[in-house]
Amino acid sequence: MSLWQIIQRLLPYVRPYRRLVIATLLLTLVGSLAAQVNPYVLRYTVDTVQNMLNRGEGLAQGWRLLLGISAALLGKEIVNTFVQFGQKYYGEKIRISVSSTLAQEAVGKILGYRLGFFSDEGNQTGKLQTRIDRGVESLMKLVQNFFIDILPLFANAVVALVAMFVANRWVGLVALAILPLYFWLSYAQAEKLQGVRRGLQRLREEKNHGLISIIDSITVIKSFVREGYEADKQADTQARLTGAQLTTRKTNFRFDGLKTFVEQIGMVLIIILTAYLVLGGQMSIGAIMFHILLFNNVSAPIRQLHRIYDEMNEALTYSEGFFAILDAADAVETTGPLRPARVQGRFELRHVDFTYPSGTAALHDVSLTIEAGKTTALVGLSGAGKSTIINLLCKFYAPDQGDLLLDGQSLAAYDTHALRRQIGLVLQKNHIFKGTIEENIRYGDFTATQEQIEQAARQAYLHDQILDLPKGYQSDAQQLSGGQQQRIAIARLFLKNPPVIFLDEPTASLDAIATEQIKNSLDAIKQGRTVVIISHSLAQIVDSDCIHVMKKGRLVESGTHDELYERRGTYREIFDASARSLNIERLAKTMADDGDEVLDTAL
Ligand SMILES: Nc1ncnc2c1ncn2[C@@H]1O[C@H](COP(=O)(O)OP(=O)(O)OP(=O)(O)O)[C@@H](O)[C@H]1O
């Protein structure tokens, strides 16, 4: 991205603050004029004092001069204080407002992107966050540079240079001649740093990502005593980061030295030239001070040039990644016009092929029907593609080939949000947001009353446990056990009350008693709804109206439990293996021995 393109991208964000921008520009003009007062006053002072000395006058006559100078300098300083305050404050106001708009826009965009966007290598949690933070930060430096640094400093320099030309064109020319050299050095410095900076960005992202993944997996790391291994992995990134940072500093120090040298050469030339002109009688002695101060005004911004150039380059580097997030048009979730008040819930897959963005081919030529108002189970070994089918039915991903239909219409034709409002999804591990239990259940329906929330918790067999907690519904939800968190997710589902429910191993993390309770409440919620359940526990699926058996991304069998059992195919294999793993014979024997007692507890 070129600087011009970035400025064009930023303009719409700055436009709402155009009054502030104009005010800042006016203040800049006043500030740059005020900055030239010192050289003029000092030249006048030196010349007047010189003349007074020549006339043999002393302090008695000098009072008026001193008072006048003090008044002029103080007056200028007062104006300058207001100007600087206004300039900085307005500049900051523009910067802060624009940065919050940009950050918010990035969040808004990301929320609208397909799931595939997040599994992309460059968009993993830490990396995405770094890209947004760095992008906004460096773009804001650009705005800040422009309003707080570049404009005032360069306006100042231009006015000072004009004043030098007006005083004497040779002096002006010397000051001007130094500038290209200075610009060239700053340019060379920034160019040298460009490559290193991109590397730095990558390494910073890597480091952040590494740290986040350590925190995420801290329990596993500790249980395997892999602290040393993880630290070494980080140390390697850190070492490369340190190397890149040192290279940056070394380059900076080298060029800074060169630039100071060039500046001093300019200063010496100005002093020699002015002294020559003064001695030749072409100028008053005050011109020496006058020119030195003016040259200082010319070189001050140029001293900052490299930093500004540098930050601009940084903005160029980081803004590319940031705007790529805003512009990921192909990542936007597709939607359609259909917004039925309540769907029937008959899903049909016709010859569906699907490959994840990572390249894993998950479904091959899958054709199956999920009847409305019935319970359909998806069975298969791990990785068979069961969850993938649910992902497609929720429109989290779109199939590569084949058709997905809901109530006879293409799923693509449905409004994505309207569709998802009609689907309740309970996963094996459900996300619990930071906040209270009440807030987490309310996520299912923001308009729910406290009573409705408690009712949902009761249906999910959670209410009594919540009441046992010291803070009840106001307890921190993230502190709950896995099973309790699962029931929060189910309570959310009760609150949402959708016509279609997808259960992806909903009881996998629950204990036996909780599983039984949840099974009862799920049985209650199943009435009159379309339910798709994935479970490795056969007890959850034997009663289903239809069972689809998946194997390596293909549908291999469909039917009821009895039909599939008789067929002696994949389902039977899984069933037998499950029975063996449960040690069903031993359990059956215990039940037979204890007969009535077990039956009593079961009933
Ligand atoms: N987000 C993803 N990105 C890339 N590949 C994925 C993703 N999710 C699943 N896969 C892959 O797709 C294939 C099917 O996975 P899927 O989760 O649908 O299987 P499953 O039958 O639900 O398995 P399980 O019973 O273990 O949950 C697997 O090979 C898996 O590695």
Helix (H, G, I), strand (E, B) or coil at 428: coil
User: Residue 600: which residues within 8 A CB-CB, separation 6 or more?
Assistant: none
Protein residue with least CA distance to atom 17, ligand 1: 387
Q: How many Å apart are CA 17 and CA 22, to the nearest integer?
A: 9
The HSE-up count of residue 451 (CA atoms within 13 Å, CB side) is 0
CB of 388 closer than 6 A to ligand 1? yes
Protein residue with least CA distance to atom 29, ligand 1: 383
CB of 382 closer than 6 A to ligand 1? yes
Helix (H, G, I), strand (E, B) or coil at 338: strand
What does pTM read for this prediction? 0.71
Q: How many Å apart are CA 56 and CA 271, to the nearest integer?
A: 28
Sign of CA dihedral 104, 106, 109, 110: negative
Q: Is residue 602 pLDDT above 70, yes or no?
A: no
Which DSSP string corresponds to 210-228?
HHHHHHHTHHHHHHTT-HH
**438-476 confidence digits (pLDDT tens):** 999 999 899 999 999 999 999 888 898 899 999 999 998
CB of 81 closer than 6 A to ligand 1? no
User: How does DSSP classify residue 177?
Assistant: H
Protein residue with least CA distance to atom 28, ligand 1: 383
Q: What is the ipTM of this complex?
A: 0.94
Q: What is the pLDDT of residue 597?
A: 53
Residue-averaged pLDDT of the chain:
86
Q: How remote is the CA of residue 553 from the centroid of ligand 1, in Å?
A: 9
Q: How many Å apart are CA 64 and CA 114, to the nearest integer?
A: 77
Q: In the chain, pLDDT over 90 holds for what percent of residues?
A: 27
Q: How remote is the CA of residue 192 from the centroid of ligand 1, in Å?
A: 46
Write out the H or E segment, with its range, that includes residue 330. none
User: How does DSSP classify residue 477?
Assistant: G
CA 310 to chain centre: 24
Q: How many Å apart are CA 551 and CA 585, to the nearest integer?
A: 27
Q: Which of 114, 115, 360 to mutate to test the pocket of ligand 1 (most atoms within 8 A of CB)?
A: 360
Write out the H or E segment, with its range, that includes residue 559. strand 554-559
User: For the chain, which domains are there?
Assistant: 3-331 (1.20.1560.10)
Q: How many Å apart are CA 217 and CA 238, to the nearest integer?
A: 20
**259-315 confidence digits (pLDDT tens):** 888 888 888 998 999 889 889 888 888 888 888 888 888 887 777 777 777 777 777
Q: Is residue 576 pLDDT above 80, yes or no?
A: yes
Q: Which of 119, 355, 388, 502 to mutate to test the pocket of ligand 1 (most atoms within 8 A of CB)?
A: 388
**35-83 confidence digits (pLDDT tens):** 888 888 888 988 898 888 888 887 777 888 889 989 999 999 999 899 8
Q: Give the model's confidence band at 596: pLDDT under 50 very low, under 70 low, under 90 confident, else very high.
A: low
Q: How remote is the CA of residue 385 from the centroid of ligand 1, in Å?
A: 6
* 156, 164, 514 from 21: Cα distances, Å: 18, 29, 63
- Backbone φ, ψ for residue 291 (5° rounding): -70, -35
